Structure 1
Amino acid sequence: MAEKRPAEAGEEEEEEAPEERLELAFQRGFLAGRRVAHLPWKDLAETLRISKDSSPLLAILQKTVLHPLCMKYPPSVKYRRYFLSELIKQHECMAAEPLDELYEALGDIFNAEASTHCYKSYILPSGDSVTVRENVAIISQGTTGLVTWDAGLYLAEWALEHPSVFTNRRILELGSGTGLTGIAICKTCHPRAYIFSDLHQSVLEELSENIYLNGFFLQSECYSLGRGKCRYHEAELDESQGPCVTVAELDWNLGAKEQLAEFRVDVIVAADVVYDPNLTQSLVALLRQLPTYTDAGNLLEIYIASTCRNPDTYCHFQRALEHVGIRWEVVPGPRKNFFPYDQNTKITILKLLL
């Protein structure tokens, strides 16, 4: 299995001053809703001890709670309260005069109304961002598809380093969830067309909203195809606007061969879809229905990123692939870390060979 390098967000910015790197680490972690305890508080405490100045706190406040992305697409109320409370603790340890800006920001959040939804924003290397709306609960409405998972971030990072896999090609994503991976690919890798797919109705609705939120426009059209009903949204955009974007309802348990053929894709991607043996069987059955070659006569490329939570479940997936004659190889992971997630988590990307 390929191991990820223990890099931290922002390490690629080698020429930045330590204070700027610290601010960027807080910004990326905060906007993406990374666990508050995992933010670089020790580094901040050391910076404050050396500088004996409150300016680093004010800079971090501006780049997090008062950042335009946070103002427009805020993380959860609970998260922002916790973050500001920790920031105030750091300031109190300095035995300095109170900073009105910190307490004013905390007061505004205490008056804010809590919601079942929150936003997470991810800064891309280009300086652009991907923002997705999520449910604050990991499991909601009977599905885990309303939150973003680490393997999706990992696959997005890998895609940023391998744009040629996606440039000017038709991509199908299985189990798109909130859409983070696909939106990042659409914004940076210039695919000709991108088909997001999922099954749960609430996930499809949230997915469509996130696509709109990031500047991609969808036109609605419903039709029946094969044994299932396909919800299909498509927008033909010119090259300056981006790829042709589609959201499709795809049921892995139904015969979907005709539907898959209709998509006419060159590349298939999926992230964090290998976590349940029953779901694995449905996924492998779906993969068996895929054509080996694309319309251009090239081999269909398939990349599946998985967080290895349960080794038995992951090995079951690999054995199920081998049982139906689908070969696989491990793809080296991304070299640089742009998105904040647990670097100790074991994530792999498999390239499937039909």
Structure 2
Amino acid sequence: MLEGDTGCSLWPSSLFLSEFILSYPKIFSKKRCFELGSGVGLVGVCLNYVGSSKVILTDGDASTLVNMKTNMKMNNLCVEQEDSQSMKDNNNKVQCKYLSWEEASESDLWDCRPDIVLGADIIYDPVCVPHLIRVLSMLLSRGNNGGINDLANKEETKYEFTGGSPTEAPNPPIAYMATVIRNAETFNCFGKAAADASLSVANITNSEAPSNLLPYLLSYDRVSVQLLKITLLS
């Protein structure tokens, strides 16, 4: 374990979510992706590999963020600035940002506009659940009534143009979360808070199971991981 929090360790849920991304690349290709509690950054490496148009990794622990940036630099993926020329000119699309769920506001997330929100092993502390739900709601509300960036991007997101012809407005954001249910009470707390916030939580572990891409990693217990698909009810 490096100097820092639990985010400096690699957990089964992160491996499972990475397998899911690599198994279903079309879901994430050319999509703006935003991860909560990114830890070591493995999910970001996989998102970049499958061709996500933008990848934003976040964490609320300073030591974890330093380690994450180091890992991205080792993979030639780190972009420090939003308008960095490297983001425009090559495939280095991964940004690492500090994000405290307790302190996050809509203005902090104003420019993110994710198509997909991700998280691995971030449902573990009932104290953090209300803050997580609040941040999730803000990120998933883009494209819904009163959602983040709705007004500022109304004209931008109303249509997509292909060959000069308008197409339907883009689909609303979706969240994919991989989690190990260590404590049923905490998980139930998350489910109730999600329902109260008009978030739909569906377990897709079996219906969209990823390929077993890490059979050689004997310490990886993928059976214990659940995969959730979360959307904002209209």
TM-score tier, shorter chain, comes to 0.7 to 0.9
Report how far residue 343 of structure 1 moved.
3.1
Query: 2:62 corresponds to which letter in structure 1?
Result: Q
Alpha carbons 2:78, 2:93 under 8 Å: kept: no
Report how far residue 233 of structure 1 moved.
8.0
CA distance in 2, matches of 1:213, 1:186: 14
Query: 1:206 corresponds to which letter in structure 2?
Result: N
Alpha carbons 1:267, 1:300 under 8 Å: kept: yes
Alpha carbons 2:121, 2:178 under 8 Å: kept: yes
Alpha carbons 2:80, 2:96 under 8 Å: kept: no
What's 2:151 paired with? none
What's 1:261 paired with? 110
Query: 2:94 corresponds to which letter in structure 1?
Result: V
Report how far residue 179 of structure 1 moved.
0.3
Which residue among 239, 243, 247 is the counterpart of 2:96? 247
1:276 matched to 2:125? The reply is yes
Report how far residue 236 of structure 1 moved.
1.0
Tell me: CA distance 1:207–1:234, structure 2 relative to 1, closer, same or farther (3 Å).
farther
CA distance in 2, matches of 1:160, 1:202: 28
Report how far residue 244 of structure 1 moved.
2.1
Alpha carbons 1:218, 1:233 under 8 Å: kept: yes
Report how far residue 259 of structure 1 moved.
2.0
What's 1:170 paired with? 32
Query: 1:348 corresponds to which letter in structure 2?
Result: Q
Which residue among 273, 284, 293 is the counterpart of 2:143? 293
What's 1:200 paired with? 61
What's 2:225 paired with? 347
1:160 matched to 2:22? The reply is yes
Query: 1:236 corresponds to which letter in structure 2?
Result: M
Report how far residue 353 of structure 1 moved.
1.4
Alpha carbons 1:219, 1:234 under 8 Å: kept: no
1:185 matched to 2:34? The reply is no
CA distance in 1, matches of 2:92, 2:70: 17
Tell me: CA distance 1:298–1:323, structure 2 relative to 1, closer, same or farther (3 Å).
same
CA distance in 2, matches of 1:351, 1:212: 30
- 5+ unaligned residues in a row in structure 1: which ranges? 1-133, 222-231
CA distances 1:44-68 after superposition (whole Å, capped 9, x unpaired): xxxxxxxxxxxxxxxxxxxxxxxxx
Relative to the length of structure 1, the TM-score reads: 0.53
Secondary structure of the 1:314 match is: helix
Tell me: CA distance 1:324–1:205, structure 2 relative to 1, closer, same or farther (3 Å).
same
Query: 1:286 corresponds to which letter in structure 2?
Result: V
1:319 matched to 2:192? The reply is yes
Alpha carbons 2:79, 2:92 under 8 Å: kept: no
Report how far residue 292 of structure 1 moved.
3.8
Report how far residue 254 of structure 1 moved.
1.6
Report how far residue 218 of structure 1 moved.
2.4
Secondary structure of the 1:160 match is: helix
CA distance in 1, matches of 2:171, 2:6: 34
Tell me: CA distance 1:338–1:322, structure 2 relative to 1, closer, same or farther (3 Å).
same
Number of residue equivalences: 203
Alpha carbons 2:137, 2:197 under 8 Å: kept: yes
CA distance in 2, matches of 1:315, 1:322: 11
CA distances 1:174-213 after superposition (whole Å, capped 9, x unpaired): 00010011112212x1011100111111111111000011
CA distance in 2, matches of 1:261, 1:169: 17
Tell me: CA distance 1:234–1:280, structure 2 relative to 1, closer, same or farther (3 Å).
farther
Identity of aligned residues (%): 26
Alpha carbons 2:78, 2:92 under 8 Å: kept: no
* CA radius of gyration, larger in: 1
Which residue among 63, 72, 76 is the counterpart of 1:215? 76
1:329 matched to 2:191? The reply is no
Tell me: CA distance 1:234–1:245, structure 2 relative to 1, closer, same or farther (3 Å).
farther
Bigger share in helix: 1
Which residue among 228, 236, 247 is the counterpart of 2:87? 236
Q: Indicate the RMSD between aligned Cα atoms, in angstroms.
A: 2.2
Relative to the length of structure 2, the TM-score reads: 0.79
